[in-house]
Structure 1
């Protein structure tokens, strides 16, 4: 299948899932790996919690020495364009997540500091990768240019999917964890395949719903979005567990 990626040159500020969403993802992952693998990860994180590791990439975004990471949070692929191979070394989430996983698979040639660094990137990018607008369209900068009235607040489409809906609907670890007990998530974990292209295409299919809204945003849209977000957080957590199992087994 030929795939053509159109990557825009326009950067944008985006914080996929916000702090709460990223925390939920790593908490889900931790529930689905055994203690030996948890201990291996903890050895490299030292005194850094999984939660803090998951938001490190957002917390350092305004530090000049880390400016090169800013484009790693997303990829822009225009609507109705066919998919194509992505150039090695491109500054987008698809390429950098794959490179990070590959580096960690070969962790025996890395220093402890390098492994810690790559784990922090993995923890964050796997979350962003499951936020539909982080694999969205460059023409509106991943929804950042789509102005929204969200419950009386001026916002944009990207922002409400990053954090506003999570906060407004009280999405929690407990709610998302309940989902992961369902058969389809157990099957995902059992398959243990890491297929970033398949995962990205799955997430992009959600864009049809994401853009199907009235403005101001109504509660019907918010409630449907809540279900999708919980599903995406659960998938991201399960898939992070799959990756960690592969790296540290």
Structure 2
């Protein structure tokens, strides 16, 4: 019986560590994909369907997390985030982005976009993979802790409690805040899909560097807002749910812009 109990604990710990590596969690990524889908042009939707077939943007969004189970795709791990030091100005952050040649969400997203501009030179499987990655990475960079600090792995080492359950700052923002709303991804999409034409233009026309700096500024405030081992619950949700929802909405609106430019 002791062996069975130990094995059970090991499995639970494995599942916890594996799942905490996701960004936005399943629901969050699907919300970003579903939001983008509602802002596609007809031409973009048609051309995307030629690549993905019956797979929706919402369902395609989580493939880059699911594929982490295959060691052959381990090289994609660093494509989900960009780490920054604390206290950077926009100019300093931009300089790092342009000088850092390591594989990260910024330079790989630019690469994927450039490759799909010439998609007819790519085989079908590569087009599908690259499109799934774009959908996912745009979601990732709007999760603030994916622009967090290297030394704590984007908040993964900031140990906290969520309604008395051991967790960390990264996981709270990946999934626990979203799951706390108790909405399906379709319900969540409908609940937050409200933006003006002026807002969409402002969000879409800013640069990728600006998108990352916005997330970085939020992450800076999130680090300051907690203490190690702090117990978080209703008040944390109340204080941060609007930021969470706006980041999901911005991610969807901006993903639509990229896809309309590529396929519209």
| TM-score, normalised by the number of residues in structure 2 | 0.82
The question of whether the paired residues in 2 share the 8 Å contact of 1:177 and 1:234 is answered with: no
Q: Which has the larger displacement, 78-87 or 66-75? A: 78-87
Pairing 1:45–2:52 present: yes
1:229 aligned to 244, 252, 255, which one?
Answer: 244
**Number of equivalenced pairs:** 236
Cα RMSD between the aligned structures? 2.1
Is 1:193 the counterpart of 2:193 in the alignment? no
For 1:54 and 1:223, locate their aligned partners in 2 and report how far apart those are by CA, in whole Å: 27
Distance 1:49 1:180 in 2: 18
Aligned to 1:244: 259
Cα distance change, pair 149–242 in 1 and its aligned pair in 2 (3 A) = same
CA distance, structure 2, for counterparts of residue 151 and residue 228 of structure 1: 20
Instruction: Determine whether 1:164 maps to 2:176.
Output: yes
Rg (Cα) greater in structure: 2
Q: Could you say which residue in structure 1 is the equivalent of 2:194?
A: 181
Q: Does 1:91 align with 2:106?
A: no
Runs of 4+ in 1 over 6 A off after TM superposition: none
1:17 aligned onto 2:32 = no
| 2:160–2:232 Cα contact (<8 Å) kept | yes
Secondary structure of the residue aligned to 2:161 is strand
Instruction: Judge which range, 203-212 or 22-31, deviates more.
Output: 203-212
Q: Give secondary structure in 2 for the equivalent of 1:154.
A: strand
Which residue of structure 2 lines up, in the alignment, with residue 68 of structure 1? 75
Asked whether the 8 Å contact 2:152–2:158 carries over to 1, the reply is: yes
How does the TM-score come out when normalised to structure 1?
0.87
CA drift of 1:115 comes to 1.4
Q: Which residue number in structure 2 is paired with residue 7 of structure 1?
A: none
Counterpart check, 1:208 vs 2:220: yes
Q: CA deviation at 1:88?
A: 6.8
What is aligned with 1:27? 34
Partner residue in 2 for 1:153: 165
User: 5+ unaligned residues in a row in structure 2: which ranges?
Assistant: 1-19
